[in-house]
Amino acid sequence: MIFFAAMRHQMALMRASWQFLVLLGVLQPVVYLLIVLSKVPATETVTAVMLMSFWGSTVWSGAGILRREKMEGTLAPTMLGVRDPRLVLLGKTTGASLLILAVISVTVAAFVLLSGRSMAIALPFWFGVGLALVAVTGTAAGFLLSCLFLLSRYGPQLSALAVAPVTLLSGLLIPVSMLPGWTRPLSWVINLRWVQEFLAGAARGTPDFAALGLAGALTVVYFVLGAFAFQRVTVLARKEGTLDLS
C-alpha cells in the first residue's frame, strides 16, 4: 500500500540523515532535561520535555516534507503521479512522527535511568494511549504545516517562528495560569496542552479524559485544515502550474 511505502521511505530518509535525527531526537531532549530537571525529576516535567522535543522535531522534519521535495525536484512527481498524493504525504508525516517519537522516548528513558532518577507511571496503559495520540497529533500537525509552509515563500522562517510560541502557549513548562490573561485563550486550540494534561494525569493515576477528548478533537481539526491546505497545493500544482515557481 502506498501509505506504508511512503512511511517506510520517509523513515529510511531520516535514518540516512542520522545527524539530523541525533540532533532532534537525542541532543535536543537531553539539553532540555539538563536545564529543567532538579534532583528528583517530576514525571510531568519529563513528559513536557518529550512533547517540547517532539514539537520542535515535527516542525523541522514532518512539516518540511513538501518544501524539501520542492527543493530536490521531486515535488511534481509526487503531486502529479498516479498515486493519491494525500496518502503519500500522510505516509511520510506518519513515518517522521513515529520515528522521532521513538528516538525521543528512548533518549528520555535512558537519561532518567542512567541518571539514577525515578519516573513513576501509575497507569501505563493510559499513558501509552497518550503517547499514541502524540504520534497521531504529530502526523496531523506535520500534514497541515507541510502544506502551509509550502504555500508561503517564508517556510523556513515560519518553521523557526512556530516552535517557541507554541511551546510557551501550550503551558508545557510554564503553567498557562502564569501567562498574560489575553494569551490564555490561545492555549485552547493547541492540542499539546491537552495531551500534556492527559499524560501527566495518567502518570499520577488520575487521567483527565476531557483533556484526551479535546486533544483528539483538535487533532481532527488539524487534519481537516490540512486537507483544505492540501487542496490549494493541488490546485497550484495541477491547474495553475505555479507551485514550483512560488
Q: Would you state the pLDDT for residue 238?
A: 62
One digit per residue, pLDDT tens: the chain, 246 residues? 788 988 998 899 888 888 888 988 999 999 888 887 765 557 788 888 999 999 888 887 766 777 777 777 677 666 666 677 788 888 889 998 999 999 999 999 898 888 877 777 899 999 999 999 999 998 998 888 888 777 777 666 777 777 888 888 888 878 888 888 888 888 899 999 999 999 999 998 999 999 999 999 999 999 999 888 888 777 776 655 555 544
DSSP 8-class letter at 230: H
Q: What is the pLDDT of residue 237?
A: 62
| DSSP per-residue codes, 106-175 | HHHHHHHHHTT-----S-HHHHHHHHHHHHHHHHHHHHHHHHHHHHSTTHHHHHHHHHHHHHHHTTSSS-
User: Is there a contact between 162 and 59 (Cβ–Cβ < 8 Å)?
Assistant: yes
| pLDDT for res 241 | 55
pTM confidence score: 0.85
Those residues whose C-beta lies under 8 Å from the C-beta of residue 168, and which sit 6 or more positions away, are 174, 179
pLDDT of 240: 52
> What's the rounded Cα separation, in Å, for the pair 172 and 169?
8
Count how many domains the chain has.
1
The pLDDT score that the predictor gives to residue 245 is 46
Cα 75 to the chain's mean position, in Å?
22
Enter the C-alpha cell of residue 229: 491546505
Q: What is the three-state SS of 41-54?
A: CCHHHHHHHHHHHH
Range of the domain at 61: 2-245
